[in-house]
């Protein structure tokens, strides 16, 4: 399909400024290419020069670029977000729908929704439910009782639903494992990264809410609850029974102690070790984590 700068402006519900051009590719602001779409997050004279040096570029830019560009441009309140929307709509190639790779193992009894993609080497056990439009990249494991909502994406190597690390010492001091009988319940539009583990609950459920985004190499402990719209980035550890209320954010390598609650729109900075509850709209950092600011 031929894409024009007018098509993109119409898709964003915006006005195209400057000449109409054909758009064939995307490029970074540092190296704009002919017939490409680029974005600038903030104004600089250097960015203006870069954009004006290349013909047939479509730029998605903040308002203070207006009137300074010779290329086509669209003014946006959030250029990066609009650029993401453009790439997703015009350039991302969807995986085949309703496809289960021949090497995947989907046990009898598993419920697979419509338009689901199951990649090579995946394993889905008999008690699992996979909602409509989900994508399981190669070598994803859904074990025991895992329920995925609609339009979830699980990257390669992620393991959901296996037992966690729960032990009690006996009279001789030997660790005895606590059997896990619970499940993992994942909402709609959830993203889970590569080599991330989400443990099934001991009793009850480990819950991942709607629109949660979890990065690679994250550990979500048994009986944890990750609230709607939260983001958990690379290397974070959420210990058993911890709660992240909606819109929380964990920066890389954060550790949240078991049964600790991070409040609505709580934010834990890089490497923080969160040992006690965090109030709503609060930013914490450090070891142990302490309040440093409030979200506006």
Catalytic residues: 222
Facing residues of 145 across strands?
none
The pair of structure tokens assigned to 243 is 């709660």
Please give the structure tokens belonging to residue 142. Answer: 């859904």
Q: Is 119 exposed, middle or buried (0-12, 13-18, 19+ CB in 10 A)?
A: buried
SS3 94: coil
Cis, bond preceding 288 (omega within 30 deg of 0): yes
Q: List, in order, residues 6 or more apart from 228 with CB less than 8 Å away.
A: 187, 209, 210, 211, 212, 246, 247
Q: Which residues contact 97 (CB under 8 A, 6 or more apart)?
A: 114, 115, 116, 117, 133
Annotate 136-156 with b (16+ C-beta within 10 A) or e (fewer).
bbebbbbbbbbbbbbbbbbbb
Containing 10, the helix (H) or strand (E) segment is helix 5-12
237 phi, psi to nearest 5 deg: -125, 120
**Closest C-alpha to 196, from 154, 239, 133:** 154
Give the CA count within 13 Å in the CB-facing half-sphere of 81: 6
């Amino acid at each position: 399909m031929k894409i024009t700068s007018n098509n993109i402006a119409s898709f964003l519900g915006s006005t195209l400024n400057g000449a109409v051009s054909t758009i064939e590719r995307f490029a970074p602001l540092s190296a704009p290419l002919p017939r490409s779409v680029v974005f600038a997050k903030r104004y600089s004279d250097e960015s203006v020069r870069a954009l004006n040096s290349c013909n047939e570029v479509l730029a998605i830019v903040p308002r203070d670029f207006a009137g300074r560009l010779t290329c086509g441009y669209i003014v946006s309140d959030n250029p990066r977000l609009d650029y993401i929307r453009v790439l997703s709509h015009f350039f991302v190639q969807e995986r085949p729908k309703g496809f289960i790779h021949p090497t995947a193992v989907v046990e009898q009894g598993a419920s697979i929704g419509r338009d689901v993609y199951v990649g090579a080497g995946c394993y889905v056990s008999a008690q699992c439910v996979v909602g409509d439009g989900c994508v399981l990249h190669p070598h994803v494991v859904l074990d025991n009782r895992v329920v995925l909502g609609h339009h979830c994406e699980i990257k390669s190597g992620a393991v959901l639903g296996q037992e966690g690390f729960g032990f009690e010492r006996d009279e001789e001091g030997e660790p005895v494992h606590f059997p896990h009988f619970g499940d993992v319940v994942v909402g709609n539009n959830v993203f889970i990264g590569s080599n991330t583990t989400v443990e099934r609950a001991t009793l009850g459920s480990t819950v991942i809410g709607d629109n949660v985004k979890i990065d690679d190499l994250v550990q979500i402990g048994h009986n944890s609850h990750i609230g709607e719209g939260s983001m958990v980035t690379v290397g974070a550890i959420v210990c058993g029974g911890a709660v992240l209320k909606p819109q929380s954010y964990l920066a890389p390598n954060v550790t949240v102690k078991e049964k600790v609650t991070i409040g609505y729109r709580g934010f834990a900075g890089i490497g923080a070790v969160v040992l006690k509850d965090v109030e709503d709209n609060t930013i914490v950092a450090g070891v142990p984590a302490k309040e440093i600011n409030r979200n506006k």
